[in-house]
Structure 1
């Protein structure tokens, strides 16, 4: 059976590279493993459609609005994604969360570490995927714990990959790991984004696409 087609509203070449790898990866591993490739459950197609993003600390609120704006233009089931950092002690507020992107865009890596996050500070990388089927919106949250690097490290300048060190990588940033052979695939074993995407695909597996036109012959 052909998997349902869902459009991913993004213009990021980095995200496309990651999804190209995830398509071939098993849906889940571990005690309740499902070795079926993610691409067998969901046919993700990319679109550059522009979306509206309200300025919110809450990534989930941002994504809810963003995916609704994408659906209004596409009129077909679609997902969006947004990610940010949450600093230690800010779990209740989620700061900077959705404000991470504008701060990063203005300050870049060195300025961000100097003015917003302290080098060595514990942080959570959070990604939220939003799915709209034309009737309902679901959000899926992936999180990875780590620390902020003492300085930017690595050449893969995708968002804050040069300053975030996941706990599993022994002090190396995402960007440094991605420079190694099969590094991007290794990043995706712990990535907050991959976790959120897997939750979304698991939802499709369990509940079907649930879109507005599903019962129309």
Structure 2
């Protein structure tokens, strides 16, 4: 029987590579045959104005499920960066802050505040082949720092996880990053669901 096809709604090549890397190994530490085929589809989905990250992801996943063939599994991934000093903002709006302000100005926003604490959060919403919705969330605690490392992947160069030994995401190699990242943690939960259901 051919593996089931799962469609990841993204046009972001870096994100797609990272997700394929995380999902390409089975529950053991060795490379296994995956019970699914991962494909991507770059769709523009409406994003509701909401601070509840699961509500945002489910809303997007419902739209995506209507745009793929009936009976096809589909998922969306939504990432947020929450600043402690701003009671969780910019949250899901981080991509717009990044587009409008750039990394340097985002860091500068926190300058007047002693607390530079932040949470990186990934929420996955998955509609299985039966049309049932599931959510998986991963969180990594860290601090916002001046940009260090390559700046080609979102805000990785200004987020320093507490568990990284003083490195920003951008300074870490992909394998080590995936072990502690918000995305890695969310996708480990998702992977466990895919391999066990």
TM range (shorter): 0.7 to 0.9
Q: Distance in 1 between matches of 2:88 and 2:134?
A: 19
| Residues 119, 148 of structure 1: 8 Å contact kept | no
Residue 139 in structure 1 maps to residue 135 in structure 2: yes
User: Which deviations, in whole Å up to 9, do the C-alpha atoms of 1:133-158 show, x marking residues without a partner?
Assistant: 25221111001111111x11111421
The whole-number CA distance in structure 2 between the counterparts of 1:127 and 1:36 is 25
SS in 2 for 1:169: coil
**Any stretches of 5+ residues in structure 2 without a counterpart?**
none
**CA distance in 2: counterparts of 1:46 and 1:138, whole angstroms:** 19
Structure 1 residue 194: Cα displacement: 1.4
SS in 1 for 2:92: helix
Q: Alpha-carbon deviation of 1:43?
A: 2.2
| Mapped partners of 1:89, 1:166: distance in 2 | 17
Matched, 1:45 2:36: no
Moved over 3 A (4+): 23-27, 34-39, 116-120
Equivalents in 2 of 1:110, 1:51: separation in Å?
28
Contact preservation (8 Å) 1:67, 1:79: yes
Question: Could you say which residue in structure 1 is the equivalent of 2:77?
Answer: 81
Residue in structure 2 matching 1:164, options 138, 145, 159 = 159
Give the Cα–Cα distance (whole angstroms) in 2 for the partners of residues 39 and 148 of structure 1: 38
Residue 39 (structure 1) shift: 5.8
Which deviates further from its counterpart, 2-11 or 34-43?
34-43
TM-score by length of 1: 0.79
Deviations 1:76-118 (A, max 9, x none): 210110111122366xx64332122222221110111112575
TM-score, normalised by the number of residues in structure 2 = 0.86
List gaps (5 residues or longer) in structure 1: 28-33, 178-182, 208-217
Q: Does 1:63 align with 2:57?
A: yes
Q: CA deviation at 1:45?
A: 1.2
Contact persistence 1:120–1:148 (CA under 8 A) = no
Is the 8 Å Cα contact of residues 88 and 121 (structure 1) preserved in structure 2?
Answer: yes
Matches within 5 A, 1:1-217: 2-27=2-27, 34-35=28-29, 37=31, 40-75=34-69, 76-88=72-84, 94-115=88-109, 121-133=116-128, 135-149=131-145, 151-177=146-172, 183-207=173-197
Deviation at 1:36, TM superposition (A): 5.9
Separation (CA, whole Å) in 2 of partners of 1:39 and 1:6 = 15
CA distance in 2 between partners of 1:107 and 1:119 (Å) = 21
Number of residue-to-residue matches in the alignment: 193
Judged with a 3 Å threshold, the aligned counterparts in structure 2 of structure 1 residues 192 and 97 are, in CA distance, closer, same or farther, namely same
Between the aligned partners of 2:25 and 2:41, the Cα distance in structure 1 is 22
Residue of structure 2 in register with 1:215 after alignment:
none
